Amino acid sequence: MAVSESDRDPLEEDVRVSSLEERLETAQNRERIKAKHLNREPDANQQLGMRVLSYLIGGVVVGFGLGWLFDNLFGTSPLFLLSFFFLGIGTAFWRIYKISSQPVADIGTALADDDD
């Protein structure tokens, strides 16, 4: 005797379907939480660290580039290169000092207009 589909209890199928839906919703919620952790944007500390790093790299590269350019234009071998290299490093350190000497609450607001 084979059981036909009309003989099955519809309540049993509803319980299985609702259980499956609950497990599916739980798994989707877990994946959403994982995705939030993976796709989060950098926080204020990471942004501040990247700004400090850009000052260091930018000061060295711009100072070296300007010094090299002026040395090639005027024919003075290491004079402008060394001068602008150390000037770029000094400028970078000065800007980092200005950031680090601000109160913690003001750092986020003063980053964009710290050119004074």
What confidence tens digit (pLDDT) does each residue in 47-59 have? 999 999 999 999 9
Nearest CA-CA partner of 56 in 81, 102, 89? 89
Q: What is the pLDDT of residues 27-76, one digit of tens each?
A: 998 888 887 766 677 788 889 999 999 999 999 999 999 999 999 999 98
Whole-number pLDDT of residue 5:
58
Query: Residue holding tokens 């796709």?
Result: 39
* pLDDT-derived band at 9, boundaries 50, 70, 90: low
Q: Return d(Cα 78, Cα 61) in angstroms, integer.
A: 16
Whole-number pLDDT of residue 109:
59
Which two three-digit tokens encode residue 54?
């850009």
Alpha carbon 84 to its chain's center: 30
Question: What residue ranges do the domains of the chain occupy?
Answer: 10-38, 44-110
What's this model's pTM, rounded to 2 decimal places? Answer: 0.57
